[in-house]
Amino acid sequence: MEFFKLKPGLRIMGILLGLLSSAALSQAAGLTAAHHIQIELIPNARKLIGQNEVTIKADGSEILEFRLSKRATHVEAHVNQTPREFSFNNGRLRIPLKPHERSDELRVAIHYTAIFDDPVPIRPVNTDNPGFGVTATISEQGSFLLAGAGWYPELVDSQATYKLTVTAPSGLIAVTAGRSLGHKINGEKTISGWEVNYPVEGLSLSVARYLVEEKSVNDITVATYLLPQNKHLAAAYLRATADYLSLYSDLFGAYPFQKFAVVENFFPTGFGFPSYTLLGGRVLQLPFIIHTSLGHEIAHCWWGNGVYVDSSQGNWSEGLTAYVADYRFKEMKSYEAARDHRRQWLRNYSTLVSPQNDFALERFQSRYDPVTRTIGYDKGAMIFHMIRQTLGEESFWGALRDIYRTRLFRRTSWSDLQQAFETRGKQSLQDFFDQWVYRGGAPRFSLDGVRTEYTGGIWKVKGQIIQPKPYFAVPLTLALQTAKQTAYQKIFVSGRETPFELDSDRRPQKLIADPDDDIFRRLFPSEIPSAVNTLKSASSVLTVLSEKLDPEIKKAAGVLALSLGLKHNVFVTESELNGQMLAENDILVIGIPRRNDLLPKMPARITVQSDSFVLNDRRYDKASDTFFGVFEHPTATNRVAALFIPLSVQYAEVVARKITHYGKYSYLAFQSGKNLDKGIWAVETSPLLYEWEQTRE
Ligand SMILES: [Zn+2]
């Protein structure tokens, strides 16, 4: 389910603050810095008092340059215990070095104070950005300081290790990457210590009144840092975390960190950091998170937070993580679940990405809307699926193990991955990477000219696969069904027209190209059922308020439109809507309209009335019931009409906030805000399917 896709912190930093790849060039890379950061938090003043003592092995640079938040004041710097002049502007603190210091080991101390008070969303309507733009906030409820926000001075272009001490009012426990040195109470204060002795690309920090549970599994500390309300979830998260760690250690190689912690945030985020994940309390409570997002975040400890992304060539880590986590879990369930998941990627791409907003995978950096998510995650994952189909199991997983072993904590690009797959697979993948990674788009195949010739007891099936420009070259499976069996044949498709010929000793019934959805392609409209995503990607939507609508339901309609992120959305009443407006827009109807022409064509499984609806033979007539469905448009082809029918105001807004998370579904029924039924309309035709008329042999 598409609730919340999480991503590693380092990517967010890169995008929000433009720091990683644009690090200042005034210094040669290769400085090493050991930080000892001491922070005191004063939550009621939203203030931090900090001191960072950095031991630096100088590399000849004339100037040391640190990133420090623009919000920092009372800044002082010392070099080898002597006060030193410096410049500090635009978030850059520059300390000039004397000639004799430039090749020495230096001790630099920086003192500063800062107020961090980003407003925190409590009930966000749109969840496309996993951190809601919050980078640094200190409060009595909790504190969150994102890597890259400059909450401590960070030496530009350095390999850094950290020792961190956080002092806060009693009971406030701090958690970050690395190894815990314990939390101790000292009078009115709680002091938390942490140590990070592997090279991380920045530290994030969370502080709250945590209850800590820990256990040791094969020398790795598995921990939960939960707020009292969610204390009961600890055991299940600890167990699941231990299982994921062993799954991925077996698959890729030993876990790279000393701990993994599930940390609760006091506002609804979804972040994955090296060695911990930071999830909002309501997210943690969702029963599916343990089976989906948790595994995804843990897989990032190998991919993204373990093997780093070289962002100059785009971010491959989301596609790979989606493939080895979200997808792999489906595959562990059943063959069908995995195939459905692939099909869903194709639907997402075909509905959410248009040729106009498409871009090459190598340009994906991080997700901030449905288009970036679909390309970076779904298409990315499908690329790894196709590589696996090409190379086979042993070479595919072997190459991933090679990459992990040789590139841990090193920035790694698509080219590095390509090389590893080529080495294991003993073949060039240049054409493959050119068309799938370095170029945008997707092929659109169809069957053409299918015919049979019957001679000498054999049916010869002939035809061709055609595709429009730009042409893709792919191996494509053809499945020929007879009454007795299905025979498979692989052909290599390239160019505008690829002829094929298959023999069958029985009368053919059905011919399907790419029967298992193993190839990434743009689906035809006839292959895509109307769904919430169709509405989300519509270029313009009219939200039609039916007559006599309760004002509270109108308000819920506003929340719905906002949470779906509708583009060019205009609210109109039933009576304002004319035929031309209807024909030129996708529509979202709120309540049961009086006008019949606004009611979409509905499949038999659903009937709606003003005080009830029937879905899949179940009758819903309680005031707490709500229906949402996306149908074919009543007049325009290739458009949709959606219906939002809360039977009363009770749960209208609660449901309005939820619908956006059910992107792939065509219809939804809710009772008291809980989803009771959901489904996708069946699709019967496809240009990749040819059926012969049935005659008895
Ligand atoms: Zn991710």
Cα of 271 to ligand 1 centre, how many Å? 8
User: Does residue 130 have a pLDDT over 80?
Assistant: no
Quickly state the pLDDT bin for 21 (edges 50, 70, 90). very low
166 Rama class: left (phi>0) / alpha (psi -120 to 50) / beta:
beta
Cα of 254 to ligand 1 centre, how many Å? 20
| Cα dihedral 555, 557, 562, 563 in deg (nearest 10) | 110
Cα of 316 to ligand 1 centre, how many Å? 10
Cα of 94 to ligand 1 centre, how many Å? 35
Residue 270's pLDDT is 82
Cα of 204 to ligand 1 centre, how many Å? 17
The contacts of residue 493 (CB under 8 Å, 6+ apart) are 445, 465, 467, 472, 473, 474, 475, 476
Cα of 8 to ligand 1 centre, how many Å? 6
Cα of 327 to ligand 1 centre, how many Å? 12
Per residue in 369-378, pLDDT (tens digit) is 889 999 999 9
Residue 695's pLDDT is 64
Cα of 380 to ligand 1 centre, how many Å? 11
Tokens describing residue 59: 């590399």
Residue 212's pLDDT is 96
Cα of 272 to ligand 1 centre, how many Å? 7
* DSSP SS3 for 373: helix
User: Does residue 6 have a pLDDT over 50?
Assistant: no
Cα of 353 to ligand 1 centre, how many Å? 20
Cα of 377 to ligand 1 centre, how many Å? 8
Prediction pTM value: 0.82
Cα of 257 to ligand 1 centre, how many Å? 18
Quickly state the pLDDT bin for 682 (edges 50, 70, 90). confident
Backbone phi, psi, residue 82, to 5°? -115, 135
Q: 572 - beta bridge partners?
A: 544
Cα of 215 to ligand 1 centre, how many Å? 25
* DSSP SS3 for 105: strand
Tokens 């064509």 — which residue?
601
DSSP 533: H
Cα of 12 to ligand 1 centre, how many Å? 11
Task: Give dist(CA 257, CA 86) in Å, integer.
Answer: 36
Per residue in 603-627, pLDDT (tens digit) is 888 998 878 999 999 999 999 999 9
Nearest to 379 by CA among 443, 332, 429: 443
Cα of 314 to ligand 1 centre, how many Å? 14
Examine residue 99 and say whether the peptide bond preceding it is cis (omega within 30 degrees of 0).
no
Cα of 372 to ligand 1 centre, how many Å? 13
Q: Measure the N-to-C terminal CA separation of the chain; round to a whole number of Å.
A: 45
Q: What is the mean pLDDT of residues 204-223?
A: 96
Cα of 656 to ligand 1 centre, how many Å? 26
Cα of 258 to ligand 1 centre, how many Å? 21
Q: Which amino acid is at 104?
A: D
Segment (H or E) for 337: helix 335-352
Who surrounds ion ligand 1 at CB < 5 A? 7, 318, 321
Cα of 4 to ligand 1 centre, how many Å? 10
Cα of 260 to ligand 1 centre, how many Å? 16
Cα of 292 to ligand 1 centre, how many Å? 11
Q: 582 or 428: which carries more pLDDT confidence?
A: 428
Cα of 461 to ligand 1 centre, how many Å? 45
Cα of 326 to ligand 1 centre, how many Å? 10
Backbone phi, psi, residue 520, to 5°? -70, 125
Cα of 157 to ligand 1 centre, how many Å? 25
Neighbours of 232 (CB within 10 A): 10
Task: Give dist(CA 274, CA 327) in Å, integer.
Answer: 22
Cα of 304 to ligand 1 centre, how many Å? 8
Cα of 180 to ligand 1 centre, how many Å? 25
Cα of 5 to ligand 1 centre, how many Å? 6
Least confident of 125-129, 544-548, 655-659: 125-129
Least confident of 220-229, 431-440, 580-589: 580-589
User: Is the CB of residue 214 less than 8 Å from the CB of residue 182?
Assistant: no
| Cα dihedral 373, 374, 376, 379 in deg (nearest 10) | 160
Cα of 27 to ligand 1 centre, how many Å? 32
Cα of 693 to ligand 1 centre, how many Å? 47
User: Does residue 658 have a pLDDT over 90?
Assistant: yes
Average pLDDT, rounded, for the chain:
90
Q: 123 or 42: which carries more pLDDT confidence?
A: 42
Q: 657 or 30: which carries more pLDDT confidence?
A: 657
Cα of 295 to ligand 1 centre, how many Å? 10
* DSSP SS3 for 514: coil
Quickly state the pLDDT bin for 27 (edges 50, 70, 90). very low
Cα of 248 to ligand 1 centre, how many Å? 15
Cα of 6 to ligand 1 centre, how many Å? 5
Tokens describing residue 382: 């499908």
Cα of 10 to ligand 1 centre, how many Å? 11
Per residue in 629-638, pLDDT (tens digit) is 999 888 887 7
Per residue in 303-354, pLDDT (tens digit) is 999 999 998 999 999 999 999 999 999 999 999 999 999 999 998 999 889 9
